[in-house]
Structure 1
């Protein structure tokens, strides 16, 4: 025999389910921002320092992107496979960043055609992703991170290719790491 639920019991169940979906869907949002913020900041600033030190192969530092990519894909796959709830917002964010990743790969493959002025273009792509993410999750600090990246792209267009790496490194700290740590520290308050 099924028990009839009172309106307060029904409301409590619905409220609990909404809270669980919200917690699952919201995540803390910081993992990828912190991972890529650190990796790309280190690579940009490392490249800049090695080039200024006249190291013959400053671009070797970019090899750090390979294990970071593998780890990022592995972490994302595990998180998605364990998720109890999948929202359309998660799917939208995922598709936006996949599109940006593909666009970055295209830009990188045409570095010689761009005269190695790829950093400002990549900063602009990251700016679009951050601003869209901040808008979707409704966190102003993330949107501001996108604006910081866009402003850094403008600066990068105006400096030498070598100095673009310095601008890129600083932009990643301010545009990715600051919002990433903000999301990590405020996650429990938002959920």
Structure 2
């Protein structure tokens, strides 16, 4: 009997490996845009809420968070526009996108169950936000995002146990470490448009 197995040529093997690598890539441009958008928006809202509550004595300072609605609209519009241009949705892109969608849905439920007026939401937001940040860091193989996730979890403890002043600054600090620094690093690398294993 003749062996019917077909051996792969070197070129075919290289093509298979290249396709597998391509399927795990995620757009750096999209990742950096969202990190910077949300980093600046949440940094501004959390710091403004803290300052208005602490120094202006405004009891309704939580209302600054309504600005997030605009962020959701911009984020979805940008993601939708980028998604229409992509011909292939890679495994990495799917994991990246759906981990953040799951976070957003969990956040909406959190705000229904635990309204912003209570003032103690930041601990839970930081706990939850660390999860998609870690997943994204793993998908991109990007250590600053993974370290940002660890910082989110550490700062969740600070937000819970730190007292009024320290707790109020946990969220803005987390945004700098977990979103803005990685976002700017990714944007700098964005000239390559994709990142994988760097």
Question: What's the TM-score bracket when you normalise by the shorter of the two chains?
Answer: 0.7 to 0.9
Cα root mean square deviation, aligned: 2.9
**Pick from 89, 93, 112: which aligns with 1:109?**
112
**What is the CA-CA distance between 1:84 and the residue it aligns to?**
2.1
Equivalent position of 2:127 in the other structure: 124
CA distance 1:26–1:95, shift in 2 (3 Å): same
**What is the CA-CA distance between 1:126 and the residue it aligns to?**
0.8
* 1:170 matches 2:173: yes
What does residue range 26-175 of structure 1 map to in structure 2 within 5 Å?
A: 26-28=27-29, 29-52=31-54, 53-111=56-114, 116-160=119-163, 163-175=166-178
Contact 1:123-1:168 at 8 Å conserved across structures: yes
**Structure 1 counterpart SS, 2:169:** helix
Unaligned segments of structure 2, at least 5 residues: 1-8
Contact 1:116-1:161 at 8 Å conserved across structures: no
**What is the CA-CA distance between 1:45 and the residue it aligns to?**
0.2
What TM-score comes out, normalization by structure 2 length? 0.80
**What is the CA-CA distance between 1:55 and the residue it aligns to?**
2.5
Contact 2:155-2:174 at 8 Å conserved across structures: yes
Moved more, 162-171 or 73-82: 162-171
CA distance 1:184–1:112, shift in 2 (3 Å): closer
What TM-score comes out, normalization by structure 1 length? 0.82
**What is the CA-CA distance between 1:42 and the residue it aligns to?**
0.4
Contact 2:26-2:140 at 8 Å conserved across structures: no
Contact 2:137-2:143 at 8 Å conserved across structures: yes
Contact 1:24-1:83 at 8 Å conserved across structures: no
Moved more, 153-162 or 101-110: 153-162
Unaligned segments of structure 1, at least 5 residues: 1-6
